[in-house]
Every structure is written in structure tokens, then in C-alpha cells.
């Protein structure tokens, strides 16, 4: 039994938890797991793991490949999320940094990390079982099949919890962030699987912060500002890189070059001073260099989650804040999230 791995079904952002009564057939809510989207194909002997971007993940998670081949009860095609937990039982949370380190070209390091930071799969949809293609079935049917197939399977496979109660979903949105999750997903119960279509809804935390610009990257076209680098000051007065602000129009990219010109740091010869940030494992070799700016301009940005000292995802530009002094932009303004045990989410 060989399965063709499809593009995963996607979700569109909505500002609040939707009312199930306003969706024909109702909704099923589940936690939004912050990891690598994974489509797991098991033909009864071999395992393949595909990603959202069609990049094979199989070689990076040998511990999961071994476990799937050993514990999956029959051939199947599973849609889920690969995550890495950290911390002791009773005080666990998702660890994005450890997960991102798993994507490494060296086989020896992949093997080492599979032992040091083992991953697990959170299963939330079943696309095929045996010789039956379930993609045309409504989610309510696929969910029942998923629970029947994997409900008794041991770690590292876990079936995500669900609820039909919007009030419970609201509580999950507030509580589960403390375990490293980043929102809630709502799925129409009568919806068939729609590869590469935004047929689900995602509700994430929406917050704003005033941050200081300290540099910009040139757009990949070679013209204009591709992204602004922004930072926050700590208690010692040190400015920390917290992320990037992107998604500007072509015209706005060019305008920003002129607007930021007075802040460009220059050497004795008048040349712009450049710096470099750490390259991401997913940058594909893209240049991590940037033009340095004096930290003299503040913007308000929208973010969803803090991971360590950095924002987890790209910051969205809201507006410039000429009324704010850069030194006033500190970590103190950010929301604090109460810790929540990952194990309690998995129950």
C-alpha cells in the first residue's frame, strides 16, 4: 500500500473563536500545536514524513521513523505536527529551539539530537487507512477513524484533544500558551479534506509592542527595504534583537530607504556600516547581513508569542511611534504568560 502525500490543508486567521452555531454542521476545536507540520505515510513496512513545503523530513527524525514502523497498527496516512517537549513531567512545554535544531545536514548530529531531544507526533487528522482514501469524508468521520486507529497507540504518538464547546476553546486559548502552544484551530465538522486550501480557522494571540529599529535588510530584488530589524532593551540597558518586520509594498520599500537614511550608521569614509545576524536553519543560504541604523526610531508592531528573548513569528507593522523614546521600549511592556504543563494538554 503506497500513499501519495498531498499538500496539507491550511487555516485562515480569524480574530476570535467562531460560534459553532453559525457554521453549517458545526465546528470542532483543537489546540494549535507549534511545531513542524507533518504528513506521515506508513505502508506497513516503511515510513515517509513529508512537510508543509513538500520537503522530506524523514531523515531528521529517525526515532519517529523507528517508532511509527513499530507501533502503528496498520497502513495509514496521518496529518499532524512534530513537536519537541522540554522540562520534567509536571512542568513540560514545547521547545521550538530544540525542534529547529533537528534540521541539520550532518547525519551524526541528527542521530545525537534524536537521542538528546526526541520528538513526538501530535496526530489531528487521518487521510487514509488501509486501502481506503478518507480525504473525501467529512472531518467528523475522519476524526472518529483517527481515534479508533491511534487512540490506544503509545508515546511518541498522541491524538490531539478536541471539543465542540467554544467556551472550552476560549479557555484553551488562554491556558495552553503557557505550555508553548500558539492558539486554537477550528474545523468544520462536515468539511472534506482540502489540500492546500485554507478551509480551517486559526485563532492566535494578538498583541502589540513598541520596538526600536536598529537595522534593515535589503529586499531580495536588490531594491528597497526587505525587512526592518527591531529590538527591546533589557534591565541593563542592552538592546536585544527580537525579530523582523516585513510585508511592505514595493513602493513602501523604496520610501523606507529614504526615510531611514538619516539613521544609517556610517564609517569614517561615509560608507554604510553593515552587520550580520545568525542565519536561520531554514534560510536556504540567504544573506543574513543588514544595514545598521542608530536606534532612534520606534514602531508599534503586532506579535503573537515570545520565545525566549525573541518574537516567535514575524512582527507585523502597525504604525510609527514618534512620541516614544527608544530607551522606553523594554521587555517590561510585554504580557507574561502563566506556565502550563504540556502533559495536561496531551490528556
- Range(s) for CATH 3.30.470.30 in the chain? 10-204
**Arithmetic mean of pLDDT, 119-142:** 98
Distance CA 31, CA 160 (A): 7
pLDDT at residue 284 is higher than 60 = no
Q: How confident is the model at residue 320 (pLDDT cuts 50, 70, 90)?
A: very high
111 vs 275, which has greater pLDDT?
Answer: 111
How high is the mean pLDDT of the chain?
92
Residue 285 confidence (pLDDT) above 60:
no
* pLDDT band (50, 70, 90) for residue 278: low
Tell me the mean pLDDT in the region 171-187: 94
pLDDT, tens only, 61-73: 999 999 999 999 9
> What pLDDT, in 10s, does the model give residues 12-56?
989 999 999 999 999 999 999 989 999 999 999 999 999 887 689
pLDDT of residue 282: 38
Q: Where does the chain hold its CATH 2.40.50.140 domain(s)?
A: 207-333
Among residues 12, 22, 32, 279, the one annotated as catalytic is: 32
Measured between alpha carbons, how far is 118 from 50 in angstroms, rounded to an integer? 18
Query: Which residue(s) pair with 120 in the sheet?
Result: 83
| Dihedral Cα 238, 242, 243, 248, nearest 10 deg | -80
Place of cell 503573537: 304
CATH class, range 207-333: mainly beta
The CATH number of 10-204 is 3.30.470.30
Query: Catalytic site residue 32?
Result: yes
Check residue 277 and give its pLDDT.
66
Indicate the pTM of the whole model: 0.79
Mean pLDDT of 165-180: 95
Q: Which tens digits make up the pLDDT trace of 217-272?
A: 999 999 999 999 999 999 999 999 999 998 899 999 999 999 999 999 999 988 98
Residues 282-305, mean pLDDT to the nearest whole number: 79
Amino acid at each position: 500500500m503506497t500513499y501519495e502525500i498531498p499538500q496539507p490543508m491550511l487555516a485562515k486567521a480569524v480574530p476570535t473563536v467562531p460560534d459553532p452555531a453559525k457554521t453549517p454542521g458545526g465546528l470542532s476545536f483543537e489546540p494549535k500545536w507549534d511545531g513542524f507540520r507533518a504528513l506521515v505515510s506508513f505502508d506497513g513496512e516503511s515510513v515517509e514524513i513529508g512537510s508543509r513545503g513538500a520537503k522530506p523530513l524523514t531523515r531528521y527524525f529517525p526515532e519517529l521513523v523507528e517508532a511509527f514502523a513499530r507501533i502503528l497498527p496498520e497502513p495509514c496516512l496521518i496529518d499532524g505536527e512534530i513537536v519537541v517537549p522540554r522540562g520534567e513531567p509536571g512542568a513540560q512545554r514545547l521547545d521550538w529551539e530544540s525542534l529547529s535544531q533537528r534540521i541539520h545536514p550532518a547525519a551524526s548530529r541528527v542521530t545525537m539530537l534524536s537521542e538528546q531531544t526526541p520528538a513526538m507526533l501530535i496526530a489531528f487528522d487521518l487521510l487514509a487507512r488501509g486501502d481506503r482514501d478518507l480525504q473525501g469524508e467529512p472531518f467528523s468521520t475522519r476524526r472518529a477513524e483517527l481515534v479508533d486507529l491511534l487512540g490506544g497507540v503509545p508515546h511518541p504518538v498522541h491524538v490531539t484533544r478536541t471539543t465542540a464547546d467554544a467556551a472550552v476553546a476560549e479557555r484553551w486559548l488562554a491556558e495552553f500558551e503557557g505550555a508553548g502552544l500558539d492558539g486554537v484551530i477550528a474545523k468544520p465538522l462536515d468539511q472534506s479534506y482540502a489540500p492546500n486550501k485554507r478551509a480551517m480557522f486559526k485563532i492566535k494571540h494578538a498583541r502589540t509592542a513598541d520596538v526600536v529599529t536598529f537595522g534593515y535588510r535589503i529586499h531580495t530584488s536588490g531594491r528597497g527595504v526587505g525587512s526592518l530589524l527591531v529590538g527591546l532593551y533589557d534591565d541593563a540597558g542592552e538592546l536585544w534583537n527580537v525579530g523582523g518586520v516585513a510585508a511592505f509594498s514595493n513602493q513602501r520599500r523604496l520610501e523606507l530607504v529614504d526615510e531611514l537614511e538619516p539613521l544609517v550608521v556610517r564609517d569614517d569614509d561615509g560608507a554604510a556600516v553593515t552587520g550580520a545576524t545568525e542565519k536561520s536553519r531554514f534560510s536556504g543560504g540567504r544573506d543574513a547581513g543588514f544595514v545598521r541604523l542608530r536606534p532612534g526610531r520606534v514602531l508599534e508592531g503586532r506579535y503573537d508569542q515570545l520565545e525566549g528573548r525573541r518574537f516567535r513569528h514575524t512582527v507585523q507593522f502597525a504604525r510609527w511611534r514618534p512620541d516614544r523614546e527608544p530607551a522606553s521600549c523594554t521587555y517590561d511592556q510585554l504580557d507574561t504568560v502563566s506556565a502550563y504543563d504540556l502533559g495536561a494538554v496531551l490528556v
